[in-house]
Amino acid sequence: MVSVSERFGEAYYRQFYGRRPVHTAAKIAKLASGVMGMCGWLGIPVRHVLDVGAGPGHWRTFLTANHPAVRYTGVDISEYACRRYGHEQRDISSWRPRPSDLVVCQGVLQYLDDAAATAAIEHLGAATRSALYLEVPTSYDRVATIDPDHTDLDVHWRSGSWYRDRLRPHFQQLGGGVWIPLSRQLPLYELERADQ
């Protein structure tokens, strides 16, 4: 069995963040701008961002340039990523973080087995004060959405309903990857809610 440090070491980052990365800093800047804009539109103040699976730290780069007052914490399970990019080494399936206004979790849950992914979603629910941005490819995405030449296919492929069933006790889905905790009462129009 391959250890985490071997799986997400320098070779992994060279393959998926090298010459033709899955996500570039420019793409993440557009995404982060949209998510921060949505939070602003909804009246959600973002003072602290927790980036789970922070990888090369593109969210930090965007926030530093565009929202310098926002505190950022990047965590990753990869010893290599933490050493290279300055994150804290954490495993979201066993670590229960303190609440943050915005939690970002991109490309993490598909690497966890069912029990660990379920625990991670519980921890994301406890950690999200105001908004969660979640990106995780599903079995539908494997066929219809992803570019197999630039995506790690050695993951747990699950249905969207598998994830929604575990997210629904904690979150309301707004769409575009943005989820709002059930504890946060927002005056949303009916059609602003994606999971009704």
Percent of the chain past pLDDT 70, that is, above it, reads 94
What residues contact residue 68 under an 8 Å CB cut-off, 6+ apart? Answer: none
pLDDT class of 184 with cuts at 50, 70, 90: confident
Domain count, the chain: 1
pLDDT class of 132 with cuts at 50, 70, 90: very high
The whole-model pTM stands at: 0.92
**Could you tell me the residue range of the domain that residue 109 belongs to?**
4-181
Domain membership flag for residue 196? no
Domain membership flag for residue 35? yes
Q: CA nearest 96: which of 133, 129, 126, 116? A: 126
Domain membership flag for residue 195? no
**CATH number, domain with residue 165:** 3.40.50.150
Q: Residue written as tokens 């492929």?
A: 157
Based on its alpha-carbon atoms, the radius of gyration of the chain, rounded to whole angstroms, reads 16
Domain membership flag for residue 43? yes
Q: Which pLDDT score, from 0 to 100, does residue 5 have?
A: 58
Q: Tally Cβ neighbours within 10 Å of residue 91.
A: 17
Q: Are strands 171-175 and 178-181 parallel, antiparallel or unpaired?
A: antiparallel
Q: Flag whether pLDDT at 17 surpasses 80.
A: no
Ranking 109-113, 146-150, 170-174, 179-183 by mean pLDDT, the lowest is 146-150
What residues contact residue 145 under an 8 Å CB cut-off, 6+ apart? Answer: 137
> Could you tell me where the beta strands, DSSP code E, fall in 90-170?
100-106, 128-135
Residue 149 CA: distances (Å) to CA of 102, 109, 142 = 31, 20, 12
Domain membership flag for residue 159? yes
Residue 185 CA: distances (Å) to CA of 104, 115, 134, 167, 172 = 20, 29, 20, 17, 10
Domain membership flag for residue 122? yes
What is the DSSP-derived secondary structure letter of residue 97?
P
Q: What is the mean pLDDT of residues 43-54?
A: 97
Domain membership flag for residue 12? yes
Domain membership flag for residue 175? yes
Q: Flag whether pLDDT at 175 surpasses 80.
A: yes
Give 87-99 pLDDT, tens digit per residue: 999 999 999 999 9
